[in-house]
């Protein structure tokens, strides 16, 4: 069967002269033959450095042609690709490099200072590859290494069962863990995405969200290469630059998280016709009905909402454009070749996969399917717990409705124990976001006694006259919440702490509240 490295090789054979990769900051506009040749040069350069099968190759880069080129180069020689969030601090960078036991690190000018400060803590990296001009003394010049390297595919045997990547989770609940995927996992997941997005070689995609994250990389970018479609990379998520590229490059499909969608809608004209733009892929966090309606109306495109996590490749469900109006707020149904159960939450983790519950009841979401990880790197106990019974235990809570659509209610760890009742923050947050003056909201529980927690709502608003009393009265007047679910306190903040996927870091909110940093 096929490996990730085979995907670009096959597309180059089928569509050698078709557009493959566009990266404006460096004037790079390659067809599949040219890009595949570049990938092979990088692969051969890595081999010359002594990097081989099973070695970890890390990138500490924002969106760039080098990031995706190194990915396919590593795949072709059997090295394990490790993309690192280029916003992480030197300490966080060193932790991931050491934990992954990486031998090579590719970075650029924007990251150079932090790499330099981290070097004293980095134990395993032998080769630093610098992609820009005026390299630091300890690094190789990436492009000089490619000089005189052959553009032939390396003669290295790579199996579909070899590790393709170790990608670190965003760490919303503690230090990040390395998620291991084989080549087969990602190739099969790519097929699911091509099916869900109805992707063909005639598509043109725009990468704006971070390519170091599974949502953009595995769910959109790799499937485009797999299908023989073109990919345009935007370095910075500037709304005006994004809108320009959508039009100029005749983009047909792209992924955009709700936070970025909201920023774009603030800058876009009331009508911005894009005749070829057929599909906006949304995920990472819920999109409000109002924002979804605005995106569809202004950009004149369809929206597909996807739900998943790094451990599953990442996507596990889809809510298709034709389902949006009737089921908005749901995350849809399982992808092809995926199964999902909602099971009873046991007091002692993990939940029993065989304790399914009826439609409408809230429980833990567990899943299995083709993109499921092989485990967490060097974390056997956590792996056993997370994959108990052959299912991945997501830690998310939710319910199925009578039509089989999945609805999220929050995180298992976020469930608030209010006396003898369980309160699900997502239910309260959804109602808060219906208020016209509330831009963002998060609900947490803070210990307020031996058996219960106080419910606290964090509110982001642009209305300086909005008060706690106003919000409290709004919730009570809505008659959508039982009395024990009404927050006991409200805190107004400028913004909520989120990871790059848009998920709120609720543990930081709890810490801020305990330390008295918010009022």
Phi-psi region of 433 (alpha: psi -120 to 50; beta: other; left: phi over 0): alpha
What token pair was written down for 143?
A: 């492009």
Encode 230-290 in three state secondary structure.
EEEECCCCCHHHHHHHHHHCCCCEEECCHHHHHHHHHHCCCCCCCCCCCEEEECCCCCCHH
Contact 112, 89 (CB under 8 A): no
Tens of pLDDT, residue by residue over 5-64, are 999 999 999 999 999 999 999 999 999 999 999 999 999 999 999 999 999 999 999 999
Give me 213's structure tokens. 């994250």
- Average model confidence (pLDDT) across the chain: 92
Question: What is the reported pLDDT for 116?
Answer: 97
Question: Tokens 């590719």 map to which residue?
Answer: 106
Q: What average pLDDT does the segment 465-481 reach? A: 92
Query: How far apart are the C-alpha atoms of 364 and 353, rounded to whole Å?
Result: 10
373: closest CA among 144, 235, 167, 141?
167
Q: Left (φ > 0), alpha (ψ -120 to 50) or beta: where does 123 sit?
A: alpha
pLDDT in tens, 278-305: 999 998 777 888 889 999 989 999 999 9
**458 sits in which H/E element:** strand 453-461
Q: Which residues have a Cβ under 8 Å from the Cβ of 512 and sit 6 or more positions away?
A: 518
What DSSP letter does each residue of 112-179 carry, written as one string? HHHHHHHGGG--S--EEEE-SSS--TTSEEHHHHHTT---SPP-----TTSEEEEEE---TTSS--EE
Q: What is the pLDDT of residue 333?
A: 98
Mean pLDDT of 177-181: 97
Band of pLDDT at residue 405, cut at 50, 70 and 90: very high
Spatial strand order of the sheet with 375-376 comes to: 140-141, 127-130, 102-107, 56-60, 80-84, 163-168, 178-182, 375-376
Q: Which DSSP helix (H) or strand (E) runs through 418?
A: strand 416-418
Distance CA 459, CA 438 (A): 7
- Read off the tokens for 397: 């809570």
pLDDT in tens, 40-53: 999 999 999 999 99
Cα gap 254→219, rounded to integer Å: 10
What's the CA gap between 441 and 495, in Å, rounded? 9
**Which pLDDT belongs to residue 254?**
97
Alpha-carbon distance 295 to 292, whole Å?
5
Q: Is the pLDDT score of 172 beyond 90?
A: no
**519 pLDDT tier (thresholds 50, 70, 90):** low
Is the C-alpha dihedral spanning 214, 216, 219, 225 positive or negative? negative
**Domain-wise residue ranges, the chain:** 4-298, 337-404, 414-514
| The pLDDT value given to residue 506 | 85
**Whether 202 contacts 173, CB under 8 Å:** no
Confidence at residue 407, expressed as pLDDT on a 0 to 100 scale? 95
For residue range 409-451, list pLDDT tens digits in order: 877 777 776 654 667 788 899 899 999 999 999 999 887 654 4
CATH class name, domain 414-514: alpha beta
Query: Averaged over 241-262, what is the pLDDT?
Result: 93
| Predicted structure pTM score | 0.84
**Cβ contact 94:115 at 8 Å:** no
Helix (H) or strand (E) holding 510: helix 506-514
Contact assessment for residue 243 and residue 24, using Cβ atoms and an 8 Å cutoff: no
| 315 close to 220: Cβ distance less than 8 angstroms | no
Query: For 72-119, what is each residue's pLDDT tens digit?
Result: 999 999 999 999 999 899 989 999 999 999 999 999 999 999 999 999
CB 72 within 8 A of CB 79: no
Distance separating alpha carbons of residues 426 and 406, to the nearest angstrom: 14
> CA-to-CA distance for 330 and 332, rounded, in angstroms?
5
**DSSP-derived secondary structure for 391-404:** SEEEEEEEEE-TTS
Contacting residues for 192 by C-beta, under 8 A, at least 6 apart: 315, 335, 336, 337, 338, 370, 371
Instruction: Say which residues have a Cβ less than 8 Å from residue 319's Cβ, sequence separation at least 6.
Output: 304, 305, 306, 327, 330, 331, 332, 333, 405
- N residues, the chain: 519
Least reliable range by pLDDT among 194-198, 363-367, 454-458, 497-501: 497-501
Q: Is 397:344 a contact under the CB 8 Å cutoff?
A: no
337-404 has which fold? Luciferase; domain 3 (2.30.38)
Sign of CA dihedral 25, 30, 32, 35: negative
pLDDT tens across 252-273, in order? 999 998 888 888 998 888 778 8
Strands 363-369 and 392-400: antiparallel
Phi then psi for residue 258, to 5 deg, are -60, -35
Measured CA to CA, the distance from residue 393 to residue 350 in angstroms comes to: 7
Does the structure show a pLDDT above 70 at 452?
no
CATH for 4-298 (3.30.70.1450, 3.40.50.300, 3.90.950.20, 3.40.50.12780):
3.40.50.12780
- The CA distance from 166 to 98, in Å, is 13
């Amino acid at each position: 069967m096929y490996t990730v490295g085979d995907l670009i090789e096959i597309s180059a054979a089928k569509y050698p002269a078709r557009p493959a990769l566009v990266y404006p900051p460096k004037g790079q506009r390659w067809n599949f033959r040219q890009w595949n040749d570049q990938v092979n040069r990088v692969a051969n350069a890595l081999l010359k450095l002594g990097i081989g099968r099973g070695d970890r190759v890390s990138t500490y880069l924002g969106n760039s042609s080098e990031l995706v080129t190194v990915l396919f180069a590593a795949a072709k020689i059997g090295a394990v690709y490790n993309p690192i969030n280029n916003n992480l601090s030197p300490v966080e960078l060193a932790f991931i490099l050491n934990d992954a036991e990486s031998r090579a690190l590719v970075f650029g000018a924007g990251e150079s200072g932090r790499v330099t400060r981290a070097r004293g803590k980095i134990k395993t990296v032998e080769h630093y590859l610098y992609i820009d001009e005026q390299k630091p003394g300890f690094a190789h010049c990436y492009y000089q290494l490619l000089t005189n390297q052959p553009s032939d595919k390396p003669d290295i045997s790579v199996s579909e069962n070899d590790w393709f990547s170790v990608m670190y989770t965003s760490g919303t609940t503690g230090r990040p863990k390395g998620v291991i995927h084989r080549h087969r996992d990602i190739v099969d997941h790519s097929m699911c995405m091509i099916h869900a997005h109805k992707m063909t070689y005639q598509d043109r995609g725009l990468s704006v969200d971070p390519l170091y994250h599974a949502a953009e990389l595995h769910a959109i970018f790799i499937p485009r290469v797999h299908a023989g479609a073109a990919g345009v990379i935007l370095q910075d998520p500037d709304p005006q630059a994004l809108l320009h590229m959508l039009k100029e490059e005749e983009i047909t499909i792209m992924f955009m998280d709700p936070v970025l969608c909201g920023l774009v809608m603030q800058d876009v004209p009331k009508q911005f016709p894009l005749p070829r733009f057929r599909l906006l892929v949304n995920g990472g966090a819920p999109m409000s009905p109002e924002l979804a309606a605005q995106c569809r109306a202004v950009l004149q495109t369809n929206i597909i909402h996807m739900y998943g996590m790094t451990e599953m490749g990442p996507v596990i469900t889809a809510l298709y454009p034709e389902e949006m109006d009737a089921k908005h707020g749901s995350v849809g149904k399982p992808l092809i070749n995926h199964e999902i159960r909602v099971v009873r939450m046991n007091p002692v983790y993990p939940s029993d996969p065989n304790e399914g519950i009826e439609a409408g009841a809230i429980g833990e979401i567990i899943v299995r399917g083709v993109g499921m990880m092989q485990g967490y790197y060097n974390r056997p106990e956590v792996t056993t717990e997370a994959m108990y019974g052959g299912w991945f235990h997501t830690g998310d809570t939710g319910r199925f409705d009578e039509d089989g659509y999945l609805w999220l209610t929050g995180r298992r760890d976020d469930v608030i124990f209010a006396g003898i009742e369980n309160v699900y923050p997502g239910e309260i947050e959804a109602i808060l976001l219906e208020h016209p003056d509330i831009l963002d909201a998060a609900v947490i529980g803070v210990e307020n006694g031996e058996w219960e927690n106080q419910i606290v709502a964090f509110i982001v608003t642009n209305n300086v006259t909005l008060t706690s009393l106003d919000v409290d009265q709004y919730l009570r007047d809505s008659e959508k919440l039982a009395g024990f679910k009404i927050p006991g306190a409200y805190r107004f903040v400028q913004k909520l702490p989120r990871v790059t996927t848009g998920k709120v870091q609720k543990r930081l909110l709890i810490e801020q509240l305990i330390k008295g940093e918010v009022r």
